[in-house]
Structures are given as structure tokens and as C-alpha cells.
Chain A
Amino acid sequence: MRAKVGLGAIAYFGLNGAILFFLLAPIAIVSVFAVNPTPYISFPPVGFTLVWFAKFFANPDFINALWLSLKVAAAVLVLSMLIGATAALALARGNLPGARLATALFMSPLMLPAILTGLALFQIYLLAGIGRPIWGLVMGHTVVAVPYVIRTTLAVLHNFDRRLEEAAAALGANPVRVFVEVTLPLIRPGVIAGGIFAFIVSFDQFPVSLFLVVPKGETLPVVLFNYMKFDLDGAIAAASMVSIALALSVVILLEWIIGLRAYLKL
């Protein structure tokens, strides 16, 4: 009986260990190719070089794309935090008729194939004759990023004690003061978590970007994809490392501001 339970536990942890290995090993392997000097992908590695990083940083296509991606993601971060937090407040506190319908609408970009969002925006920009401006790309990213902010903010709003606001009001604070001094500090972790999610969604966004970028004005994932169609060398691995490092610093920032545990409780 004891041995049986032990075997089950071994199987359980062994299986989970294998799944974690499946998740993490491919990412670890990219770092190997980023410093392996052979001109094509080969294994095992034969040495150490930084030439691929040099190639990445010396290539204006990569650097321009990186800057564009960062700028777009920063704009999406700000826009989606503003739009998402106000919408969540209205949904949770506004007594709106049709609040459920509105919530379903705001969440639908998560379930709709993103390639359709990209295609639909491409078509309307085409019909409107506005070309493919950067603000159009930003709006496309914002539509798919806002749901994350609304979700995290709504979760916080549902969890916090509404009596805090009512107590402040009963003690004579006007609605604006209640909002600024009670509501805003309480929802801040949710808004920030959602905002960082929005940043990453935009920074790694592919299907929406694919339709909305112009030649020579492509975001980093699109440039990497186009490069990989013809070349599979260490420069891609180095670019991957740079973009992982950027995303990781965002997560460390997140851990530092609100803690990872709060981040999970969406």
C-alpha cells in the first residue's frame, strides 16, 4: 500500500518534470545557438562567439524594428491601461444595462482568431484610403491588448471591499476624492499587471502586425520571420536572446512592483 502511493507520487512528479523540461529546454537551446560560431545551425556547439550579437546590433533592419516594436508596445501599454481601467470601472461600478454584453464584446478579441482582427483592420484601412500608418498598428494592438487590462482590473474590483469606498463617502469625501484616494490605489495592481500583459502582447504580436506593417516599417517579430524564411543562423538566436532579455526585464519589473503571486490571480 505504501509502495503504491510512492509509485504514484513518483509518476506524478516525474510526468510534471518531463512537461517542464519540454517547456523550458527549447528556450535554453536558443541561447546555445546564439553563441555557437558555426555559420548554420549545428549541434553540439563547437565554441563561443559574440559575432551573432554583433551582427544583430550592426544590422539597421533589426535595430529599427526593435525600436519600432518598443515604441508601439509603449503606446499600447499607456492606451490600453487608460481605456481598460476606465472600462473595468464602468462595468463593475456603473450599474450599466447590458454590462454583461459589453464585457463579452471586450473579451471577444481573445477568442476571435487574431488573424481575422488583422485582416479586418487591413480591409477597413484600405477602404478608408489611409494606408498603413503607425497609429493604425497601435490601435490594432490596443484592441487585442485591452481585454487583458479589463480582466485583471475587473478581478481586483470584484475582490476588494466596497465598504472602503462607502466609508470614505460617509466620512464626507466627495466622489472624486473617493476615487483618487481609495479606488485608484486599490485597483492599481490590477491595472499595472494588465498593462504589462498588454506590453508583452504588443511586443510579441504577430498576426495583427503582419497585415498592418509596411515594408521597411516592420516590427521585430515580422522582421525576424522574414529573415527566417531564407536564413537560419545565429543572428536569429541572438535576436531571440535580446527580445527575451527585454521581456524578462519587464517581468522583473512586475515582480518588483506587485509580486508574481498577485499576477496569477487574474
Chain B
Amino acid sequence: MASNLAGRVSPVSAGTRRERKATAVGWLIGPALLLFALFFLLPLGVLGVMAFLSGNPVNAPAVHFTLRHFERFFGDDLYPEALWATLRIGFLTTLAALLLGYPLAHLMARAHSRIGHALLLMGVIAPMLTGIVVRTFAWMTLLQDRGVINTMLVALGVTEKPLKLMYNEFGTIVALTHIYVPFMVLTLAGVIGRVDERLEEAARSLGATRWRAFREVTLPLSLPGILAGSLLVFALSISAYVTPFLMGGTDVLTLPMLIYQQVSSSFNPNFAGALGLILLAVSLAVVIAYNKVLAGLAGEGA
């Protein structure tokens, strides 16, 4: 389209100029490629190699290839259980963030007044600006035994002893959900906003209730947003370190916690690399499976 219009302006010279310009502008990708080659692809490649080495190749001369880090992982129940806990927390957080994020994203996408939209946006962005550590602190003050919620429950006589709301998986998931709902809302709001409202109106004028019009028109059309938002929240929550550490107490052990432990106290970067590679492989597998399931759902809906 743009090329047609350009052709009308000046058929020959515009064409050649554009091609020459194209190559020159193409070089601008250089800095980003260099950054990603040196500080992303190369390190990840090294991580993958380190996972199969017996030691640090720089200071240990007799380093050789080995599978023993992976044998260690599967040979001890502790590690597969940590992997399972990581995935469970990731799934439940994603599900909770989707259930809480969708209504808010819908409201935001359908808000017609500028002020209403801006206020909603501020309400969603304010928690994002607060930082993971601060938000985890907020949830600790809310959920601990002497925290806000337990103090109120005891004062109201709902319970005699404070409930165990944190230092377990429940508290971890609640805090993680709070942290990642804004990511879900922002991803979903853009997609729902692109679904033409007139489609829903057409369905309703043909006799569908508001709920049915939503369920059969807007919801299927927003599936790409659900997919994108869920994958983002899942990737973020299986990578979480601060929140499971502080909210989970001794009850929760996740893969990121094990990885940092290997680096900081056990000083075994090779085993840390193997743990990282396993986290990567499992998260990729989940992403691919999730994609297939949603693609199937979308096919049925059409």
C-alpha cells in the first residue's frame, strides 16, 4: 500500500531511494544484535554447557562432560518436588490472575469516558510501580499472625486463634496473584479493546442476553489475549524468588530458590545450570502445550 502511493509520487527515484535507504536503516539493528549476542544468547549457551560439565572449566583443569547433575536432580525426591511446587504455584497464580484480571480488563476496554479510563489505568499501574519486594512486604503485614486480617478476624470473633494465612503456599499464591494481575489486565485490555463492540450489539439485537453475547462473541475473540496474558504471568510466577521465599517460609521450596542456593551458599554453578535448564525445558513444554490447547479451543469456536 505504502509502495503504491510512493510510486505515484515519483515512480523510479522513490523506489531506488527507498531500497538504498532500507539497507542503511537495516544497519541500525547492530547495537541490539550485539547486546543480545553478548549478554543474552552467549550466556544462555554457556548456561546450557555448564549444566553438563563436572566443574568450572576455567580453574579446574580436569573438567569433563557428565550427566551427574541431572542424575542428582532425579535421584532425590527433594528436587522433583520443588519443580512440581514451582509449576503448581505458577498454574494457580496464572488462573487466579486471569479470573481477577479479565473483568477489570473488560471494564477498562469498554470505558468510554477519558477520565474513567485514566483512573482505571492508574489503579492498575500504581501496584506495578510499587515493586515486587514492597508488595510482598504489604502482604506480609496483611497475612501474618499479628497482621491486619488476622487482627480483624479475631476482634470480630470470627476465629479465636489467628488463621495460618502465610508461611505456606496459599499466602505465596495470594501475593503472587496481586503482583501479576496488572500484567494480565494490560495484556487483555488491548485485545478486548480491539474486539468490535458492534459485534456484541448485533448479537444482542438478535435476541442474545448480555451474558450470552459476551460468552459467544467477545470471549472467543479475546482468546489471543488470554493466551498472551497467561503465558506472561506463568513465566513471571515460576521465576519468582522474593515472594515464595518470604511468604512461603519453610513450607515452600521452589526451583528459583534452589538455584540461588546453589550459587550463593553451595557454590555449585554447574548444578545451578542444570536446575536452570530443567526450569527452562519445563516452562517451554508448558508453553507449547498451552498453545496447542488454546489453538484447539479456538478452532472449535470458529
Contacts and interface: CB of A to CB of B under 8 A. Distances in A.
Interface of A: 5, 8, 12-13, 15-16, 19-20, 22-24, 26-27, 29-30, 33, 40-44, 82-84, 86-87, 89-91, 93-96, 102, 105-106, 108-117, 119-124, 126-127, 129, 139-140, 142-143, 146, 150, 162-163, 166-167, 169-170, 175, 200, 203-204, 206-207, 210-211, 221, 224-225, 228-229, 232, 236-237, 239-240, 243-244, 247-248, 250-251, 260-261, 263-266
Contacts of B141: 29-30, 33, 41, 43, 232, 237
B31 A166 contact: no
Contacts of A237: 137, 141
Nearest to B177: A22
Contacts, number: 293
Interface string B70-83: 00000000000000
Interface in B232-266: 232, 235-236, 238-239, 241-242, 245-246, 256, 259-260, 263
A126 B273 CA distance: 13
A120 B242 contact: no
Interface stretch (B195-203, B216-224, B275-283, B293-301): B275-283
Given A30-B137, A119-B276, A143-B36, A40 B130 contact: no
A40 B140 CA distance: 12
B135 A26 contact: yes
A81 to B, nearest CB: 11
Contacts of B232: 110-111
A27 B175 CA distance: 12
Top 6 closest pairs, chain A to chain B, by CB = A94-B26, A113-B239, A87-B32, A120-B43, A90-B29, A247-B129
Given A43-B148, A93-B21, A228-B140, 15 more contacts: A12-B103, A23-B124, A82-B31, A83-B35, A105-B36, A113-B238, A120-B40, A121-B43, A127-B46, A170-B9, A204-B132, A221-B242, A232-B140, A243-B134, A251-B129
Contacts of A206: 132-133, 241-242
Interface in B119-146: 120-142, 144, 146
Interface string B184-195: 001001100000
Interface residues of B, number: 102
B28 A236 contact: no
B5 interface: yes
26 contacts: A13-B107, A19-B181, A26-B142, A30-B134, A30-B137, A41-B140, A41-B141, A95-B19, A110-B235, A111-B232, A113-B238, A113-B283, A116-B276, A127-B46, A127-B58, A129-B58, A139-B35, A162-B2, A163-B5, A204-B132, A204-B133, A210-B260, A237-B137, A244-B129, A264-B186, A264-B189
Interface of B is mostly: helix
B134 A260 contact: no
A33 B259 CA distance: 33
A244 B130 contact: yes
B5 A166 contact: yes
Nearest to B243: A206
A242 B127 CA distance: 14
Contacts of A29: 138, 141-142, 148
A84 B32 contact: yes
Contacts of B17: 169, 175
Nearest to B144: A41
Nearest to A108: B40
B26 A24 contact: no
B29 A87 contact: yes
Contacts of B134: 27, 30, 224, 239-240, 243-244
Given A95-B22, A142-B35, A42 B146 contact: yes
A37 to B, nearest CB: 15
Given A41-B144, A87-B31, A96-B29, A115 B239 contact: yes
